[in-house]
Amino acid sequence: MNNFISECLSLSNLDDRRQEIKQEMELCRSTTLKLFQGIDYETFCCQAHPDFSPVGWHLGHIAFIESLWLLEKFAQLPPLFPQYRRLFAADGLPKKQRGNLPTLEETKHYLDTVRKQVFQYLETADLEQQERLWRWLIQHESQHTETITFVLQLQGIKINLAERSPSPQVIIPNTPPTDEMVQIPAGKFEMGNDSIEALDNERLVHRVYLDTYCIDRYPVTCGQYRTFIEAGGYHNQNLWSDSGWEWLQKNSLNQPRYWTSDRNLDYHPVCGVSWYEAEAYAQFAGKRLPTEAEWEKAVSWDATLGCRRTYPWGEATPDDSLCNHNNIVGQTTPVNAYQTAQSFYGLYDTLGNVWEWTSSWFDGYAGFISYPYIGYSQVYFDGQHRVLRGGSWATSPWGLRASFRNWYHPHVREILAGFRCASS
């Protein structure tokens, strides 16, 4: 091909990518803003839980980060709304001092003003150099959008972005999910992700050998978890680790954060458990939590082709026929509802519905390089955070993939998390 033609092709390809990024940013933003429909100022500013900032803070922070990275650092424009810097920077004020916020209308004006300049900049920005950052920003917003959902959930506000509820695509099978396990044969697989949207903590792709192990076909259901509660699981010290028991005594709990005794939810995954509760249930069941490598192999590895899949079902982007995500349903669904989304090894319900705790501490893979700043992942490689996989019913499509890693302190139970078990 001559140079002139190849240059034209790569330019038009760049323009397509600009267009695609713009559309994704708009789509992501429309989901974010839908969550604020009908939210009053008190709810906007309320700190529902000491571990989480008010929803209004998250909204302003989204604008701040977009402005900081694209307008200040890349476009080298002077800061917009410098009076918001201290309030909306992640290292500005402690969480409990983030309640004195501009109104929703003022915050939207901040978002819109930043967005106008960002799209103007996008027209000529050096995407060849910057695409990774633009893709990171979409994921940054969508992760805060998910946190906004967590906080609204804590405030008792129902979210459901589907026209009808439950989503018409969800077919509820009559056969109950079981506690059956799938055996994964010993061998190597490829862990991680090196595509343009992969976050720093997903890189580098590396080969991992695992011995034969078994992993639950389904996440642990409310029905199964009830047997643990009824057997006195919350009162039996033998089932708990020392730190788990200590945590339990301090908080005197006897059921998950989002527990209801409604038997109609028996096939739904248990939701709102801390890592300690997951660990105690696994002990009760004579099992253990999977490592994140075990989770990822069972979800992403295609042993016939010897290759990684981006999603358990292959490469098709997530939609509401494949998994419960993006606030479409606005609550959990039965763990066997999405029959066509099984992984190569036959695991169900791995993406969406509830996050799944793993036994692994959050850490960098070999060759880890921070991006875009060490505060994104690296400061959490502190032996205090456990890895969660798979995403929840509130995770956007940009955070749903087999290699995606989330992390929280083991005591956190406000995040729509459940788990599945493994054994050796």
**Which stretches of the chain bind ligand AVJ, using CB under 6 A?**
140, 143-144, 147, 376, 406-407
CB of 199 to ligand AVJ, least distance (A): 9
- Shortest spacing between CB 17 and ligand AVJ, in angstroms: 24
Residues 408, 409, 412, 418, CA torsion sign: positive
Q: How far is the CB of 130 from ligand AVJ (least distance, A)?
A: 19
Write down the least CB distance from residue 173 to ligand AVJ, Å: 32
Return the number of the residue (280 or 412) whose C-beta is nearest ligand AVJ: 412
52 versus 345: smaller Cβ distance to ligand AVJ: 52
- Quick check: 266 and 423 in contact, CB under 8 A? no
Cβ proximity to ligand AVJ: between 43 and 147 the closer is 147
What's the closest the beta carbon of residue 144 comes to ligand AVJ, in angstroms? 6
Closer residue to ligand AVJ in complex, CB, 267/295: 295
Measured from the CB atom, the residue of 301 and 393 that comes closer to ligand AVJ is 393
If the CB atoms of residues 119 and 376 are measured against ligand AVJ, the closer one turns out to be 376
**Residue 315 Cβ vs ligand AVJ, minimum distance, rounded to whole Å:** 24
Residue nearest to ligand AVJ (CB): 143
Residue 193 CB, nearest approach to ligand AVJ (Å): 15
CB burial string 77-114: b at 16+ within 10 A, e below: eeebbeebeebbeeeebeeeebbebbebeebbebbeeb
Q: What minimum distance in Å lies between the beta carbon of 147 and ligand AVJ?
A: 5
- Shortest Å, Cβ 372 to ligand AVJ: 10
Give the distance, in angstroms, between the CA of residue 87 and the centroid of all CA atoms in the same chain: 25
Complex with ligand AVJ: residue 69 or 240, whichever CB lies closer: 69
Nearer to ligand AVJ (CB atom), residue 41 or residue 373: 373
Kindly tell me which of 143 and 360 has the beta carbon lying closer to ligand AVJ. Answer: 143
